Amino acid sequence: MKGVFRNIGETPAQSAGNLPGIACRATFRPMQGGIEEDCMKRALPALRRPTALLAGGLLALGIISVVSAQDGDELTDIISAVDTAWLLIAGFLVFFMQAGFAMLTAGFVRSKETANILMKNMIDACVGGLSFWLVGWAFAYGVSDASNAFIGLGNFALNEFDSYADWFFQFAFAAAAATIVAGALAGRTKYSAYLIYTVVVTGFIYPVVVHWGWDTNTWMGAFTDGDVWLGNGYVDFAGSGIVHTVGGIAGLMGAIAVGARLGKYGPNGEVRAIPGHNISIATIGMFILWFGWYGFNPGSTLALSGGGAALAASVAVTTTLAAGAGGITALLWSRFRTGRYDTGLTINGILAGLVAITAGTATVDPWAAVVIGGIGALVMYYGVQMLDGIFRIDDPVGAVSVHAFAGIWGVIAVGLFSSKAGMEAAGYVNPQHYGLLLGGGGEQLLMQLIGIAAIVGWTAVTAGILFFAIKFTVGLRVSEEEEMRGLDLMEHGVDAYPDFGPSGSGIFGSSEIGGGGR
């Protein structure tokens, strides 16, 4: 207790009374050696705070001293390590979005399809990782003499490659693109067919688009080693078109090929709502996705050094504002159109705002992010109306409207709202070409339209061929009986909620546990 007493001659009780932030009934008890026990318990936390601050300050001074003492090469190593850690952490956040997709989609489908959706998300991560390792990275970023502006053709199975942080970050994006499709096909698709799809999308369809948009050996991307076509080339900072539109258009083609769920549309064409079974886990999924977007968008700076930290902070702000604007717009519009504050539309409005801002998140000002996110929610709303009311295309969770339609809008918004300062800060080569509505001319907008048309066309053709090939070979859709009883039971032998309905035995059933399994 010696170091606690402030002034010589103070009693322990008097000293305790002078400790900042402490209010206690102090009684000096010489036989017990000092302050009453309850006062001591309250004094110790107050002592820990300044001690922790002092320790933190000393640690910071130590780090500064160590860094200052390094020569140039060692300092470069430290900066490289920080940038690598940033990219890995961002990749971890993007990968965690798989949990968000799983919860969101599971909540929006019927209870009898829950385990099926969760299995699809699991296999997206597993198969996606292997296919992106084997061929996906090679088609997207592969370096060899055979690589060209259309496709990469090098580093298969990561041969002669050691930029593992880059691979991991890009794998997480590939898995996200594949997962988007699960919602559009929910409730009636064979699991075996989905296995085939996820290999092709993560191994071929998506990587080719990545090569076009983000590689340096490309015909349309902004960071090409050659001359850009128009403006700054195709600008898509974190993937409204490259990731989300690819996933959404592939989901659209799959939904067309597989057809609508039983009972979705009446004999006279009327649309029948098939509500999801658990809005609670759908909401949790939305928040996980929103959280993961802070790896998706700010992480796309790819580094913190060289101005990356300041750019990431700006991106975090525009990402947040667009999400908020999307949610509020969907909330109010659902009230205006239906007389209710619709929870499901609000969830999808937030996600549509996030998708819409992803392309221009580094190049637009905060006010523009609010506009882009709000319009993204309206695009989502009317996209749902169009698919259901006009084309009779059944998308159980709104994946096409959220990811494809809002993604297309986000790409176009870059050519409308990007500022000159934003283009400069993000490192684009011709910042004098920026948003049309801000006085930057129409050249960038034209380039955005060319780029997104190429992405939609490529994905629609390749995914369409894929899904119809599956449909006429191994089969794409389950039987009516399987659909009625539920994919959980018929495809996986389990029920997500066995206490509330019939359930299969699963791996832990009687046939496997002392019940005479085959």
pLDDT at 501: 63
pLDDT at 73: 78
Q: How many angstroms separate the first and last alpha carbons of the chain?
A: 72
Whole-angstrom Cα distance, residue 130 to residue 155?
Answer: 14
Give helix 72-108 / helix 343-357 axis angle, nearest 10°: 150
For the chain, give the percent of residues with pLDDT over 70. 83
pLDDT at 11: 38
> Are 77 and 258 within 8 A, CB to CB?
no
Residue 490 CB coordination number (10 Å): 18
Residues of the chain with CATH 1.10.3430.10: 76-471
Lowest mean pLDDT among 6-15, 117-126, 144-153, 169-178: 6-15
Q: Which amino acid is at 510?
A: S
Locate 175 and state its tokens: 């898995």
pLDDT at 49: 55
pLDDT at 15: 38
The mean per-residue pLDDT over the stretch 216-230 comes to 90
Per the model's pLDDT, the better-predicted residue between 328 and 35 turns out to be 328
Residue-wise pLDDT tens digits, 88-108 = 999 999 999 999 999 999 999
Mean of the per-residue pLDDT values of the chain:
87
pLDDT at 358: 98
The mean per-residue pLDDT over the stretch 175-188 comes to 95
Residue 311 pLDDT > 50: yes
pLDDT at 54: 45
Predicted confidence band at 322 (pLDDT cuts at 50, 70, 90)? very high
> Are 422 and 364 within 8 A, CB to CB?
yes
How many Å separate Cα 377 from the centre of its chain? 17
Q: Which CATH class is domain 76-471?
A: mainly alpha
The mean per-residue pLDDT over the stretch 44-71 comes to 50
pLDDT at 70: 52
CA angle, 262 then 263 then 264, to 5°: 95
Among the residues of 132-244, which ranges form H helices? Answer: 137-141, 164-184, 191-200, 206-214
Residue 110 pLDDT > 80: yes
Residue 27 pLDDT > 90: no
The mean per-residue pLDDT over the stretch 177-197 comes to 94
Q: What are phi and psi of 15, to 5 degrees?
A: -65, -40
Residue 509 pLDDT > 50: no
Among the residues of 70-136, which ranges form H helices? Answer: 72-108, 114-131
Per the model's pLDDT, the better-predicted residue between 68 and 470 turns out to be 470
Residue 284 CB coordination number (10 Å): 17
Give helix 308-338 / helix 366-386 axis angle, nearest 10°: 40
How would you classify residue 21: left for phi > 0, otherwise alpha for psi between -120 and 50, otherwise beta?
left
pLDDT at 32: 43
Lowest mean pLDDT among 52-61, 199-208, 348-357: 52-61
Residue 506 pLDDT > 80: no
**Among 177, 158, 166, which residue's Cα sits nearest to residue 87?**
166
Predicted confidence band at 267 (pLDDT cuts at 50, 70, 90)? confident
Contacts 24+ apart (CB under 8 A), 464-472: 464/253, 464/256, 464/257, 466/196, 466/197, 466/200, 466/205, 466/253, 467/197, 467/253, 467/254, 467/256, 467/257, 467/258, 468/257, 470/193, 470/196, 470/197, 470/257, 471/257, 471/258
Residue 409 pLDDT > 90: yes
The mean per-residue pLDDT over the stretch 493-518 comes to 57
Which residues, including other chains, have CB under 8 Å from residue 189's CB and lie 6 or more apart? 254, 258, 476, 477, 478
CA angle, 350 then 354 then 359, to 5°: 160
Predicted confidence band at 309 (pLDDT cuts at 50, 70, 90)? very high
Residue-wise pLDDT tens digits, 274-303 = 999 999 999 999 999 999 999 999 999 999
> Are 59 and 66 within 8 A, CB to CB?
no
Q: What is this structure's pTM?
A: 0.84
The mean per-residue pLDDT over the stretch 348-375 comes to 98
Predicted confidence band at 498 (pLDDT cuts at 50, 70, 90)? confident
pLDDT at 386: 96
